[in-house]
Amino acid sequence: MTTEPRLAPYARLPRAYHVRDVLHSTVDAFGRAHWLLRDSARRGDVYDALVLTVEDGRNRTTRLRSVHARFPRVDALPDGGFVVADARRQDGVDQVQVFGSSGHPSCAFDVGDAIEHLLTDETGDLWVGHFDEGVGSDPLCDPGLRCWSSVGEPLWHYHQPPEAGWFLDCYALNVDRRCTWAYPYTDFPLLEVRNRRRARIRTTPVRGAKGVMVDGPRVALYGGYADDHDRLLLGTLTESAIEPVEETRLLRADGARSGRRRVVCRGPRLYVQEENAAEWTLFDIS
Distance from C-alpha of 113 to C-alpha of 116, rounded to nearest angstrom: 9
Was domain 8-284 assigned CATH 2.120.10.30? yes
Residue 43 has a pLDDT of 73
Is the separation of the CB atoms in 146 and 111 below 8 Å? yes
CA nearest neighbour of 27 among 176, 167, 129, 156: 176
Residue 1 has a pLDDT of 59
Pairing assessment for the beta strands 126-130 and 115-120 based on DSSP bridges: antiparallel
CA-to-CA dists, residue 160 to 22, 163, 175, 184, angstroms: 36, 8, 19, 11
Is the separation of the CB atoms in 212 and 129 below 8 Å? no
Is the separation of the CB atoms in 173 and 271 below 8 Å? no
The 3-state secondary structure of 232-262 reads EEEEEECCCEEEEEEEEECECCCCCCCCCEE
Residue 275: is it exposed, middle or buried by C-beta count within 10 angstroms (0-12/13-18/19+)? Answer: exposed
Distance from C-alpha of 248 to C-alpha of 221, rounded to nearest angstrom: 11
Angle subtended at Cα 278 by Cα 55 and Cα 252, rounded to the nearest 5 degrees? 95
Distance from C-alpha of 208 to C-alpha of 185, rounded to nearest angstrom: 8
Specify the pTM.
0.96
Chain length of the chain:
286
Delimit the domains of the chain by residue range: 8-284
| 3-state class (DSSP) for residue 172 | strand
| 3-state class (DSSP) for residue 225 | coil
Per-residue pLDDT tens digits of the chain, which is 286 residues long: 558 999 999 999 999 999 999 999 999 999 999 999 998 777 778 999 999 999 998 999 999 999 999 999 999 999 999 999 999 999 889 999 999 999 999 999 999 999 999 999 999 999 999 999 989 888 899 999 999 999 999 999 999 887 777 899 999 999 998 899 999 999 999 999 999 999 999 999 999 999 999 999 999 999 999 999 999 999 999 999 999 999 999 999 999 999 989 999 999 999 999 988 999 999 999 9
Distance from C-alpha of 284 to C-alpha of 265, rounded to nearest angstrom: 10
Roughly how many angstroms between the first and final C-alpha of the chain, as a whole number?
Answer: 14
Residue 137 has a pLDDT of 83
CA nearest neighbour of 128 among 116, 140, 137: 116
231-264 pLDDT, tens digit each: 999 999 999 999 999 999 999 999 999 998 999 9
